[in-house]
Amino acid sequence: MRRFEEILAIAIDRKGSREAVLGDAPVPRSADEIAAIPDDRWLAGMARGIFQAGISWTVVESKWPGIEEAFHGFDTGRCAMMSDDWFDALLGDRRVIRSGPKIAAIRDNAVFIRETAAASGSFGRRVGDWPAGDFIGLLDWLKREGARLGGNTGAYLLRGMGKDGFLLSRDVVARLVAEGVIDKAPGSRKAMVPVQEAFDRWAAESGESFTTISRVLARSIG
């Protein structure tokens, strides 16, 4: 496995400059900044990812104002107590993506968020305090306790909210394979362990965030 600086050099060679590789890298938020994100925005972020799965993101973006309105701003109390009548109305509401399983997942995730907030003070507090050295544990928790938050959906949610972490995009997986970390895209928590260990090592070497390391790995390929 190469050192981080060697992989960065590959990325710079491909893209032409350090700025081209790192200039637009997101800056992770602090634990307190993440904790301050209201619970309704977490539900909105989950809903965005769930609705985007399997369809063009531009469709969801164009519908988003109507989706926010239809779900009452993703108020977690209202969504958690979604009645059958409201559920049925949403299935016929042209403002939203009319998928029963996806709408049900939003209701179920509202319950998940409220239960987590009751135990931790807020959903963001629980996420913000989760240690970077167990990022795969955070992904696994979202997958197990949430609804339709597995795969990259949970990782994209966390990236959008500013939590430091990695995204296993096609290019990142390709670099991890090239470095001998994995031999294919990991499909289980056990298979994710060497990925966590590799990111831990690169972070210790470089002092960079997982977010930045993930960006460099991706741009060393694509």
Encode pLDDT of 155-208 as tens digits.
Answer: 999 999 999 999 999 999 999 999 999 999 999 999 999 999 999 999 999 999
Q: In this predicted structure, what is the pLDDT of residue 163?
A: 99
Taking each helix axis from N to C end, the angle separating 210-219 and 189-206, rounded to the nearest 10 degrees, works out to 100
Average pLDDT over residues 15-34: 97
Q: In this predicted structure, what is the pLDDT of residue 44?
A: 99
Q: What is the pTM of this model?
A: 0.95
Q: In this predicted structure, what is the pLDDT of residue 90?
A: 98
Q: In this predicted structure, what is the pLDDT of residue 94?
A: 97
Q: In this predicted structure, what is the pLDDT of residue 80?
A: 99
**Torsion of the alpha carbons at 13, 17, 21 and 24, rounded to the nearest 10:** -170
Could you give the domains of the chain?
4-28+166-219 (no CATH), 32-131 (1.10.340.30)
Task: Say if CB 112 and CB 145 are below 8 A apart.
Answer: yes
Q: In this predicted structure, what is the pLDDT of residue 89?
A: 98
How would residue 32 be classed by pLDDT, with cut points 50, 70 and 90?
Answer: very high
Locate 129 and state its tokens: 């305090």
List, for residues 59-111, the tens digit of each pLDDT value.
Answer: 999 999 999 999 999 999 999 999 999 999 999 999 999 999 999 999 999 99
Average pLDDT over residues 134-149: 98
Q: In this predicted structure, what is the pLDDT of residue 143?
A: 98
Nearest to 179 by CA among 5, 6, 1: 1
Q: In this predicted structure, what is the pLDDT of residue 152?
A: 94
Look over the chain and give the mean of its residue pLDDT values, rounded to a whole number: 98
Locate 25 and state its tokens: 């890298």
How would residue 221 be classed by pLDDT, with cut points 50, 70 and 90?
Answer: very high
Rounded distance between C-alpha atoms, residue 47 and residue 103, angstroms: 8
